[in-house]
Amino acid sequence: MKRFGKSVIAVNKANFFVDDDEFVSLLGPSGCGKTTTLRLIAGLERADEGEILIRNKVVNALSPSERDVAMVFQSYALYPHMNVFRNIAIPLEIRKMPKSEIKERVESIAEMLGISELLNRKPRELSGGQRQRVAIGRALVRQPNLFLLDEPLANLDAILRHRMRGELKALFHHINGTTVYVTHDQEEAVAMSDRIIVMNSGVIQQIGAPEEVYKRPVNKFVALFVGTPQMNIFEVKDIKSMKSVLSSQKLSAVEKLMHEGRVEIGIRPENILFGKGPLSGEVSLIEPMGANLLVSVKLLLDSDTINVKLFVSNTMEVREGEILKLSFKESEILFFLNEKRVEIESQDQQNSDREA
């Protein structure tokens, strides 16, 4: 646990582990506590409660230099008066390693990162992507127990950022580096991570593989935060209006849930079927997205007009104001009770479980 002052709890009872050679992302909105968590691991912040273990050793009382971790910051933090060689070599120089070994390590890392020809340049002579490689090289050259990366791609343009995340994933897989990576970009976390830790307001919401977090979010926050565009979520107010969406078995289960609190249904845009079905709605907005169109539809459901988003091929002729026929892929519908996801089995599933 980490507090700032008497009233602000930045990290609240965060409990997780990272396996050797695993790439784990801390994902969440700004101010959720992910960077503070990283700084606690690095020793740049002191925990008010709890233990931090690295290689099964409690490190709470150790300084950052004693924890054998390497941290890459969002700002690169390069020394402007030193060339690239010295910027990468400085951790080894501080340890007073032999010059020949320093030279060998730096040149090997530079070749791995594709910056061998830049070793004599100063940071001001480098592009953003090149500076990022230098910052990563300085971390790699130490060969630490743990790599900590705090939004290292945030300052890059979209194209370079996409390319660098692929390179980073391949690099850390190649060196078998145990890594904790902070990002607010859910696409980045999904693309790069073995597991994702989703945080909000200092509290861990869910830990799981990217596919698990995407398909089986534990609550409404995770469902909305992970996935672009966001999941469609709406409240069930009248069970009768759900007859066009749910089977009779699930209708019965949802009706029972409504006696326990607020029930909501979630469906991702890619799981709304277009062209036929029991639902109809008016197209209110069309957004081109490469090979697909993201279409916003005003749907009359549950005695209310709700907005849903769906994908259709950009070869389809869809116009604003047009009335579309839609259906929901029932197997992909998620159910939330008081913002926590709950499982609802169909009668066929229940019968199968009994027979088993």
**Sequence letter at residue 198:** V
Residue pair 196/215 in contact by the 8 Å Cβ criterion? no
Of 183, 218, 253, the domain-final residue: 218
Residues 209 and 261 grouped into a single domain = no
In this predicted structure, what is the pLDDT of residue 354?
37
Confidence (pLDDT) at 346: 54
Q: Are residues 79 and 172 in the same domain?
A: yes
193 and 314 belong to one structural domain: no
Do residues 46 and 191 both lie within one domain?
Answer: yes
Q: How confident is the model at residue 208 (pLDDT cuts 50, 70, 90)?
A: very high
Same domain, 155 and 253: no
- Is the Cβ–Cβ distance between 134 and 80 less than 8 Å? no
For residue 22, tell me if it sits in a domain: yes
Regarding whether 192 and 117 lie in a shared domain, the answer is: yes
323 - beta bridge partners? Answer: 282
* Helices 128-140, 99-113: inter-axial angle, 10-degree rounding: 130
352 pLDDT more than 80: no
**pLDDT band for position 163 (cuts 50, 70, 90):** confident
Q: In terms of domains, do 197 and 240 share one?
A: no
Q: How many domains does the chain have?
A: 2
Cα separation, 307 vs 297, whole angstroms: 6
Residue 182: is its pLDDT beyond 70? yes
Q: What is the CA radius of gyration of the chain?
A: 25
Question: Which domain CATH number covers 43?
Answer: 3.40.50.300
Residue 326 tokens read as: 């839609």
> Which range of residues forms the domain containing residue 116?
2-218
- DSSP codes joined into one string, 122-174: -GGGS-HHHHHHHHHHHHHTT--SEEEEESTTTTS-HHHHHHHHHHHHHHHHH
Distance, CA of 182 to CA of 15 (rounded, Å):
16
pLDDT of residue 162 exceeding 90:
no
- On whether both 135 and 277 belong to a single domain, the answer is no
Other C-beta atoms closer than 10 Å to the C-beta of 206 total 22
Per the CB < 8 A criterion, the answer to whether 206 and 198 are in contact is yes
End-to-end CA distance of the chain: 44
Residue 313 half-sphere exposure, CB side, CA atoms within 13 Å? 3
Decide which of 192, 218, 244 is a domain's last residue: 218
286-338 confidence digits (pLDDT tens):
999 888 889 999 987 766 678 889 888 888 888 999 998 999 999 999 999 99
Asked, for residue 238, whether it belongs to a domain, the answer is: yes
Residue 90 is assigned to a structural domain of this protein: yes
Assigned domain for 223 exists: no
Whether residue 78 contacts residue 131, with contact meaning beta carbons closer than 8 Å, is answered with: yes
Task: State residue 160's pLDDT score.
Answer: 83
3-state class (DSSP) for residue 306: strand
Peptide bond into 29 cis (omega under 30): no
Q: Is 344 found in the same domain as 256? A: yes
Nearest to 65 by CA among 44, 82, 51: 44
Q: Is residue 227 part of a domain?
A: no
User: Considering the chain, what is the average pLDDT of its residues?
Assistant: 91
CA dist 10 and 13 (Å) reads 10
Residue 51 sits in the same domain as residue 152: yes
Would 207 be classed as within a structural domain? yes
Indicate if 73 and 165 belong to the same structural domain. yes
Last residue of a domain, one of 196, 218, 240: 218
How many CA atoms, within 13 angstroms, populate the side-chain half-sphere of residue 278? 11
Question: What residues pair up with 306 in beta bridges, in sequence order?
Answer: 299
CATH code at position 267: 2.40.50.140
266 and 147: one domain? no
